[in-house]
Amino acid sequence: MKSITINGSKRESVGKKATKALRNAGQVPCVLYGGDQPVHFSAAELAFSKLIYTPNAHTVVIALGDVSFNAVLQDIQFHPVTENILHIDFYQLFDNKEIAMDIPVILNGVPLGVRAGGVLRRNRRKLRIKALPTNLPDNIQIDISELKIGNKVYVSELLNDAYNFLHSDNTVVCQVKQSRVTVELEDEEEEGEEGAEAAEGTETSGEAAAEGTTAAEA
């Protein structure tokens, strides 16, 4: 998995007054958990843009002077009005300790069902997995080109030895459903067939009646 480096500085004071001063200066107060004790630090808000405003998953190298930590984003808080970043929590990574993380799903190909008039529905754009840091994938790719109308892709079909899914096996990742237009066309075809059959029945009855009249006259 690709990594993004965040250059920051350790925080000596963690009170409300100090935190407010940091935000006014364009800095984001952060906490790194998972180690022997929490590490409080701050970094410029612009430093997080490539980590937050992207659909991709990344690990993070937090560089605090001569010390650095490998981590993943755990939680982020935004201002309800300005949408500025208020606070970020990170979780420290260790080579021998598994970590849970949301990984984006990438669908490859155009399903046969879509070519036939169906609609692709994405039930999960991300899947949560648990793995050692070295086994974290950049994304989970799925070939959907053979999916027909009514077909679904389940988590059980994506099992991998490198990581475990934190979802039930019957979780639907994506599916091809019948579109409303296709249903309406089928209904119209059925109505047309029923109408044709009724017309044939009427013609047959008329012919039989005509034959009966002729026989009676004879």
Domain with CATH 2.170.120.20 in the chain: 100-177
Q: Which ranges in the chain are annotated with CATH 2.40.240.10?
A: 3-93
Which ranges of the chain would DSSP assign to H, the alpha helix?
16-24, 49-52, 112-115, 180-217
CATH number of 3-93: 2.40.240.10
16 — pLDDT class (breaks 50, 70, 90): confident
**Superfamily for domain range 100-177:** Ribosomal protein L25, C-terminal domain (2.170.120.20)
Buried b (16+ CB within 10 A) or exposed e, 11-35: beeeeeeebeebbeeebbbbbbebe
pTM for the predicted model, two decimal places? 0.75
| Lowest-pLDDT choice from 26-30, 148-152, 156-160, 188-192 | 188-192
Compute the distance between CA of residue 128 and CA of residue 108 in angstroms, rounded to an integer.
Answer: 20
Residue with structure tokens 């990344």?
Answer: 58
